[in-house]
Amino acid sequence: MNDGLTGLYMALTVPVVSKFDATARITAISSGINLAYGQVDGRLVIGKNELSLSPITCMYEFPFGDLIVGTSESLQIFRDGDEISSHTYETGIDALSGKDDTAVAIDGLGRAHIIDSAGNITSINESSVLFAKVGPEIAIATESGKVSTYSLDGHKVWERPMRGEVGERITAIGWNDSTLIVAREGHGLVPGDEEALEIEHWESQQLIKRHDVNRRVIAIDGLWMGLDMGGIMHDETLVAELSHPAHIVIDRGDSTLVGSWFHLHCVNGEGLQWAVETQGMVEHVSVNKDGSSVLIAGSDQNDYTDPEPVVLIDSTAQPTSLIEEDTAIDDWGDAPAIEIDAEELYGDDTSLEELAGIEAVEVSDTNNLLDALNDEIEIETLAVEEEDLMLALSLDAEEIIAPLPDAGGDQSLKAGEDGTAVVTLDGSETQDPQERITSWSWVDSSGKEISNNPVVRVKLNKGNHRLELRIKDKDGRWSSDSIDVRIE
C-alpha cells in the first residue's frame, strides 16, 4: 500500500519482531506485562492462555498486569489469565481508555464508568459520552458539545463554558500533563457565525490559549495531534503530512507513533522518521512503557480474505532501509545467456528462423506474394488540411471531468425508545459523468470507515454527528463532502 506521503524522506522501517495469527477480526489488543488480543468472535489470548468470551470490543491493562476486557455483554477483569471479576452490561462496552491505575469504560448507551486498580466501578452522571481521557483528572466530552472533568473517584470538578447554544462539536480531547486540550468545531449554524476549527488549552479551569488550525483534529495525546485529512501537528506546528486520517497518536515525548491507513509511522519535530506497513488497516495500537513492545492490529476491510495477524514491533530498534522486492525486469536481466556457437550463427546450413524456432515457409514466386499482399491492402488517400486534422484530434481528446462527491443534505431525526435512530447515508447524487470513481468510503468523525458503498443505513445515538463521504478517482485523488446529522 502507498500511504501517499507528501515530501521527500528516506524510506526507513523497523523490523517486525513477531506475528500472531488471528482466527477472526481483531477488535482489541494490549501490550503490557502480557501480550493480549481479543477477537470479534470472543476469542481472548493472554500470553499463553486462551479463553472464550462474548464478542470482545476493547481492553486496557493496569501497570501491575490486571487486564480489563470489554465485551458485547460485560466488563471482565483477568489476572494471570484467570477471571477475577465480571460485571454485566445489557448494552455492552464500546470503549476503554486509561492511564496508570485508572480506566474509564463507555457502554453502549454512552454512559461512562470509572474502574480503579482494585476493580471498583463508579458511574459518572453523563450521557451520550463521545470521549473519555484520563490525566490528573478524567475529561469527558459528550455528543452535545459539553466537556467536563471529574476527580479520579468520580466527583465533578469543572465544566467548560459552551460557545453558543447550537452548532458546536468536540472532535478530540487529550491531556498534556495538567493541561486539558480540546479540539472543537463550530458549524456556523447560527446566522452571523462562521465555521471554526480550533484548539483550546485549559489549565486549572482557565483558558490559557486558543488558536485556529483550519483542519479537523481527531486525535490528541500530549502536544501531538492527528488531523482528519492527513497530517501531524505538534502544538501549533504542522510537522508531517499524510494522505489519510491520522486517527491514532501515541505520545512518546520527543516523538509520536501515528496510525494512518495501512501504516504505523514514527514522527518527530523534523517529520517522518520511519514507517511499518501492515496487512490490515491500523485500527488498534498498544505500546508498553519503554516502547520496546508495540502491538498493531486491524482489518483490511475485505470479508473474503483471511483475518490479518497481530504484528509486534520494537519501536526503539534502529531503523533500517526498506528492501525492495525483485521485479520481473530484474529477473529478466539476471536470466542466463544463451550459448550460440559462431559456426551455428554464421554458417550456411542453419537459418535465422531455425535458430529462433520459427518454421520457415517456402515461397516459390516472389512477385505473386507481393501481388497478394497488395490485393489485401486497401490504400485510401485522405485529403485533410492541417487545421482540420488538429480539429479532429481535439474532438477525439476527451476532457477529464473530476467526480464531485455529494453526501446529501444535513438531517435531523427523532430517536426511538432505545435512544437511537436509523439514518440513510446517500451519496448517489455524486457527479461522475466519466465513471472515474474507483473507491467509496463513508467515515465517522474519528476517521473510522463505516461502509464502502455509496448508500448505507446506520444506527446513531442521540446527539450531533458529522459523517463524511470520500471518493477516490482513477488518478488516485481523494475528494470529500460531509453532512451533519442531529438525533433528538
Which sequence spans correspond to the domains of the chain? 12-321, 411-487
Cα dihedral 267→269→273→276 (10° resolution): 0
Q: Write down the pTM of the prediction.
A: 0.68
- Torsion 159-157-220-124 (CA) sign: negative
- 365: Cβ–Cβ under 8 A, 6 or more apart, which residues? none
Q: What is the pLDDT of residue 165?
A: 61
Q: What is the pLDDT of residue 416?
A: 85
DSSP 97-156: EEETTEEEEEETTS-EEEEETT--EEE-S-SSEEEEEESSSEEEEETTS-EEEE-TTS-E
C-alpha separations of 244 from 24, 239, 282, 458 in Å? 25, 15, 11, 23
Would you say the CATH fold of 411-487 matches that of 12-321? no
* CATH superfamily of the domain spanning 12-321: YVTN repeat-like/Quinoprotein amine dehydrogenase (2.130.10.10)
* CATH superfamily of the domain spanning 411-487: Immunoglobulins (2.60.40.10)
10-residue mean pLDDT profile of the chain (488 residues): values are 43 93 96 95 96 97 97 96 95 96 95 96 94 97 94 96 77 97 77 72 96 92 94 96 93 97 96 95 96 95 87 96 50 41 50 47 47 46 50 56 89 87 91 89 81 87 87 82 88
How far is the first Cα of the chain from the last one, in angstroms, to the nearest whole number? 41
Contacts of 41-46 with C-beta under 8 Å, sequence gap 24+, read 42/71, 44/69, 44/78, 45/20, 46/78, 46/81
Place of cell 489519510: 244
How crowded is residue 227: how many other Cβ atoms within 10 Å of its Cβ?
A: 27
Query: Rounded CA gap, 117 and 466, in Å?
Result: 35
Q: What is the pLDDT of residue 354?
A: 53
DSSP 177-220: TTEEEEEEEE---STT---EEEEEEEETTEEEEEEE-SS-EEEE
- The answer to whether residues 120 and 154 touch, using CB atoms and an 8 Å cutoff, is no
Q: What is the 3-state secondary structure (H, E, C) of 15-29?
A: CEEEEECCCCCEEEE
Buried b (16+ CB within 10 A) or exposed e, 25-36: bbbbbbbbbbbb
